[in-house]
Structure 1
Amino acid sequence: MHSHLSFHNPPALPHDVVVGTLERALGDQAHEPEAAGVLVGSALSDDDREFVEHWCVQVGTRAVSGSPLLGLAGLCLGHTARRFGRLSDEAVALAYSLAARAEVDASDVDGRALDGLDDVRSFLHLW
């Protein structure tokens, strides 16, 4: 008998749900797993670039060192750059900062931040 793992992208949720979930996770790491799905769903499917970018920046600047949400915020900035073709200067600077931290210490920011920066550079033509 073969079992197949399936993956599905989380959906974009209403903004009030996103804000509440992310704020809870930023205040209590026990809520990080739920927040990860919410952030990814927004980055992949929400049509409000400013909202998505704002919450990627909030998570990427407010999550504690070692939180998996830091690398994920960098990755989601890459998704946002790919989908919309632009990011604010603040978001680009954060993508670079998170990637630099990941290069120095993967226990601070995980390597997904490096993948996110690659996408930011590629889709915003910052090479």
Structure 2
Amino acid sequence: MKHSHRTFENPPALARDVVAEALERALGDTAYEALAAVALVGIALNDNDREFIEHCCIEVGMRAAAGSQLLGLAGLCLGHTARRFGRLSERAVALAEALATRAELDPSDVDGRALDGLDDIRSCLRRSEAE
């Protein structure tokens, strides 16, 4: 029996125009969601502009169709952003909460990554307030 080992590498932050184009394309056609997912994760983990990351996550979270893999990912990426920067805008927190609620109610609408993201947000924002 041959075993295959999968490896995962965090994607780099892409240029902002590339990210914007990838997200816009995926919001119009689900065939492009994989590239948009890489772009979103890349900026959440590596871009140094919290407001840009939040903007992208909010756009995806507000505009992606129900059931899109990008919805849960937007919530997760907001969690990464909270962990990295120690803060989020009220609008980003509200979106993360809404996505997590949708995930609890119907995992076929928003996947469970939104719940993980909200956990990170609550943990990181509480910790930064205590410091």
Shorter-chain TM-score range = over 0.9
Correspondences of 1:114-125 after superposition (within 5 Å)? 114-125=115-126
Counterpart residue number, 2:37? 36
How many residue pairs align between the two structures? 126
Cα distance between partner residues in 1 of 2:48 and 2:110: 27
Cα distance between partner residues in 2 of 1:104 and 1:41: 28
Identity across matched positions, percent: 71
Cα distance between partner residues in 1 of 2:112 and 2:66: 14
TM-score (norm 1): 0.96
Deviating beyond 6 angstroms after TM superposition, the runs of 4 or more aligned structure 1 residues are: none
Seen in structure 2, the aligned counterparts of structure 1 residues 30 and 3 have a Cα distance that, compared at 3 Å, is closer
TM-score (norm 2): 0.93
Aligned-residue offset at 1:5: 1.9
Q: Unaligned regions of 5+ residues in structure 2, if any? A: none
Letter in 1 for 2:90: D
Aligned-residue offset at 1:22: 0.4
Cα distance between partner residues in 2 of 1:37 and 1:49: 17
Letter in 2 for 1:116: G
Alpha-carbon displacement from aligned partner over 1:43-97 (angstroms, at most 9, x marks no partner): 0000111100100010011000000000000000000000001100000000000
Cα distance between partner residues in 1 of 2:59 and 2:14: 17
Counterpart residue number, 1:108? 109
Letter in 2 for 1:43: A
